[in-house]
Structure 1
Amino acid sequence: MPLGYSFQITPEELQEIFARLQPYLPKHLKKVDAQPYGLRFEFAPFTGREEEPSKPSTHGDPKLDYVRESEDETEHLLREKASVVLSNLYETAREEWKDAAYVADLKAVVKDAPDRWKTYQHEIKALSTAYDYLRTPEAAKEWPSAVSRLIDAQDRTKAAATAFDERAREIAEVHDTHLYADLGHDAALKAAGYPGAKDWHITGAGEYGKHYYSDWDNNPPLEEQARRLIEQQDTHVAKIGRLSGATAGN
């Protein structure tokens, strides 16, 4: 008789089941609570560096091996329930381990990403300031120097964007590796100790290192974003020079 998706386990059966399952329980298991909706398993925290929990075989165990219903209905049902409990137990352990492995892998690759992001934020702000200054009357008095400072700011922004992308690419690859973990990207980074990472620009792993980005690529890495911005600035500055005929403060 199949158990189906829902079945009852009496307290006495549960006690007997766990007595039989004792040799097969994962060492991280701390507590089992019987809830109205089923069993709740509590585990000690996983590091993510343990072997992935995997349901052990109970084949050959005289107290858990399959017994036909026609031979002993009570024993048949008890062993079927024990098998389901063991499967659910290891599935829950595996899901918690997956999240822990995800977090552990992120900790290994984030490294100095917060500092690199901070540097990029500083440089992109400085670039905006240098570019906006060109629109002021004061800039006309020192045009070559103002443009030179813009170029310096552009170079620093490109370097900062490239540096952050190096870390972002590794983080994105970890996200892809743990695609089926319960934790989302921001939640995993927060669990790894980086709550501010929700503001970082991390695109898909496949977006990094491309030789060409089309205009339809609306979420490219920072390096490509910086290239596009600088190209727009250069075009605008060149147009000013053509229309005004002024390349120096005179």
Structure 2
Amino acid sequence: MIDKRLFTNKIRNTFIIALAIFIILLIAGFIMLKYDVQGETNLPFNLSKISIISTAKEETLKNEEEKWQMNILQNNDIYFYIEKNNNYKKDVVIEKIIFDNFNIIEENTIGEVKVYKPSEDENVVYKYKEDYEVSSVEYKGSLVTNNKFLEINNQGGIAEFSIANINLGSHPIDQEQTLSADGSLLNLINANYEDLKFSISFDMTIVVENENTYKAQIVLDLPVGDITQDGVCTMEDSELTDVVFKRI
């Protein structure tokens, strides 16, 4: 009788332990799932907004017959607004912000997509030349924001770069023709919105000095409108529901 009671108690204790382990694993799984969906909820610095300006521009060049041509490209200037989280209790500074792992996930029909850093020329924001073509963009934390030298205020500021669709085509320059320096230029080479649009993904990493590092993947559909008809299209996203930063 005693052995039977001990056996029953052993089964009950085993069941209780198994149930406790199951509940712990269930809670841990829920926490992990919640973190996977929501990410960090109290970042030292927040990405508060992404702003995009999509248009087109031309670069003048000569062909082999010494005739003037315009080379037309489609550019998307992208701005990232980073703000300090006033609810974060520690005194922290930005060490650097990195944009990398650029991948085309839905390809454009025409042209070639490249990433460009800002130029150091005070009169020109971007030069779509090979010297400024990059595979990653890294901003260093500094006392002030200076995009020309890839510096961002270590308490928050605006980081930017440009994603351009180049090698779309060229068109002879007619001195008597009046043209607008915007997306309507694309009509000269019969480039339409459906041929131009693409989706690109990349990682944004915020490195906090003597603290943690946070990374999120960002996906953009570019250009942000039919610039062949509207000339210039803009988009601002302050909700950023799909941008989830996680500690790495």
TM-score range, shorter chain: under 0.3
Larger Rg: 1
More helix by share: 1
With structure 2 as the length reference, what TM-score do the two structures score? 0.28
